[in-house]
Amino acid sequence: MHTDDTLDALFPAHVAALVDRTARALEATGTSALVIGSGFLHYRFLDDHSYPFTTNPHFREWVPADDAPGSFLVIRPGARPVLVFHQPEDYWHKPPAAPSGRWTACFDVVLVREPRDAREHVPAGAAFIGERFNGMDDWGFGAVNPQPLMDRLHWDRAAKTPYELACMRRASAAGVRGHRAAVAAFRAGASEYEIHLAYLAACGHTEAGLPYPNIIALNEGAAILHYTDVQHTKPAARHSMLIDAGAQFRGYACDITRTHAARDGAFAELIAGMDALELALCAMVRPGVHYPEIHLAAHRLIGELLVSQGIILCSAEAALETGLTSVFFPHGIGHLLGLQVHDIGGHQAAASGGTMPPPAGHPFLRLTRTLEPGTVVTIEPGLYFIDLLLAKARADGRGRNIDWAKVAELAPYGGVRIEDDVVATSAGPENLTRDAFAASAA
Ligand code: GLY
Ligand code: MN
Ligand code: MN
């Protein structure tokens, strides 16, 4: 079966799951109906150019159409969902195409020329989820972005439907095409900017279509966790490339990081060590696992790597206890992934809401939940030479256990991060990223 046929075949069950989840959430919160807004274009200050449109992820979850600002979805328990699709009359810009394809059979589709024309399709007292808009006070909404309702929908979103997983496999394949082109450009001596262009061309995205801004860093730039300042100039010496770049398919993201060394040696060994420990962590992605356990395991394994590479002088346990591993690994092991790169609900305690904060000393861990079948997470251990954090360690005494000569040798390489996207299934982890790399090598 052609892959688009596969997606079409999976989509009705996806919508049925959303209908079911939404009905339960509405009932639990005493809400009669739900209206979801896609969002609106926003304009630059004193300008008639808009920022790139980003669809409300609640809308995107239901509607696989790109770029539908000013549209609404109306969900009433027991009725077919109604897609009120905004298609303006406009000869300055290309209006969004009217919904077409087999997926539209899951909805009653109504075309409107103005967003305000959707008003007549809104049931009185419905809850609204989306960004606020002018005039909405007259639409009769019973509540706007009610937290108890959103909590239930966010909670359910962590476990993906088969359709969503199929979309994420497609996104992974596109991201891998970009990564393969990027590493070829790196090996050919390209600048960060040229590598960025090679990435975009291979995965077929515009910059605005990326799920997050590309992080493409040569040399010490790899020590800046969210480095997006791609340079046109080529560095005099080429040591390393860290590329954290994703792609999306029907709104579902992949989030992939690879680090490449320009030559064999200590940094290439560090990458190999990180790759091995990253795979060990991916193997922990199973239903029933409390995600912070994976984060703490990452600290232990990175501590061992720091010892074996001669970067620190104490034991891995001592490094974890004193916070020395956090000098080199100062971010969380990963996060929920889906419609948003950092998908919402990572700290949620239950479907009914509440917060589970990260463990003490690990404030940047974005996910504290227990994995379920279908939960998709990233696993992204890293080890960096960050001046700011190294200076703090030197000042507070942790630096006694750092081999500064080794740090000086490795600092020009910036750092290493390896990131895969993994599904927890009862049959074991499904590594979307490694599978996509393996398929593209075949
Ligand atoms: N690309 C952002 C992240 O890995 O979380
Ligand atoms: Mn990530
Ligand atoms: Mn990433």
pLDDT of residue 2: 63
The string of pLDDT tens digits covering residues 130-176 is 999 999 999 999 999 999 999 999 999 999 999 999 999 999 999 99
Same domain, 371 and 310: yes
Ligand 2 center from residue 92 Cα (angstroms): 38
Q: What CATH number has the domain bearing residue 105?
A: 3.40.350.10
Does the pLDDT at position 242 exceed 70?
yes
Are 63 and 98 in contact by the 8 Å Cβ rule? The answer is no
Are 116 and 131 in contact by the 8 Å Cβ rule? The answer is no
Nearest ligand 1 atom, CA 380: 4
Same domain, 153 and 181: no
Task: Give the residue-averaged pLDDT of 217-245.
Answer: 97
Task: Give the residue-averaged pLDDT of 299-303.
Answer: 98
What percentage of the chain has pLDDT greater than the value 70? Answer: 99
The string of pLDDT tens digits covering residues 29-61 is 999 999 999 999 999 999 999 999 999 999 999
Same domain, 226 and 150: no
pLDDT of residue 4: 80
pTM: 0.97
Which residue, 124, 157, 190, sits at the end of a domain? 157
pLDDT band at 76 (very low <50, low <70, confident <90, very high): very high
Same domain, 183 and 140: no
Nearest ligand 1 atom, CA 342: 5
Q: What CATH number has the domain bearing residue 206?
A: 3.90.230.10
Of 179, 212, 258, 329, the one to substitute when testing ligand 1's pocket (max ligand atoms within 8 A of C-beta) is: 212
Ligand 2 center from residue 339 Cα (angstroms): 13
| Whole-angstrom distance, CA of residue 177 vs CA of residue 204 | 9
pLDDT of residue 67: 84
212 lines ligand 1 (CB under 6 A): yes
pLDDT of residue 442: 66
Nearest ligand 1 atom, CA 335: 5
Does the pLDDT at position 294 exceed 90?
yes
Which of the pair, 317 or 67, is modelled with greater confidence? 317
Same domain, 293 and 223: yes
pLDDT band at 22 (very low <50, low <70, confident <90, very high): very high
Which residue, 122, 157, 192, sits at the end of a domain? 157
What percentage of the chain has pLDDT greater than the value 90? Answer: 97
Does the pLDDT at position 1 exceed 60?
no
pLDDT of residue 65: 85
Which residue, 110, 133, 157, sits at the end of a domain? 157
244 lines ligand 1 (CB under 6 A): yes
Same domain, 250 and 134: no
Nearest ligand 1 atom, CA 257: 4
The string of pLDDT tens digits covering residues 329-361 is 999 999 999 999 999 999 999 999 999 999 999
Same domain, 168 and 136: no
Domain extent for 82: 4-157
Same domain, 150 and 243: no
Structural domains of the chain, count = 2
Same domain, 219 and 345: yes
Same domain, 127 and 172: no
The string of pLDDT tens digits covering residues 356-391 is 999 999 999 999 999 999 999 999 999 999 999 999
194 lines ligand 1 (CB under 6 A): no
Same domain, 146 and 169: no
pLDDT of residue 427: 97
Same domain, 90 and 238: no
pLDDT band at 3 (very low <50, low <70, confident <90, very high): low
Of 256, 378, 416, the one to substitute when testing ligand 1's pocket (max ligand atoms within 8 A of C-beta) is: 378
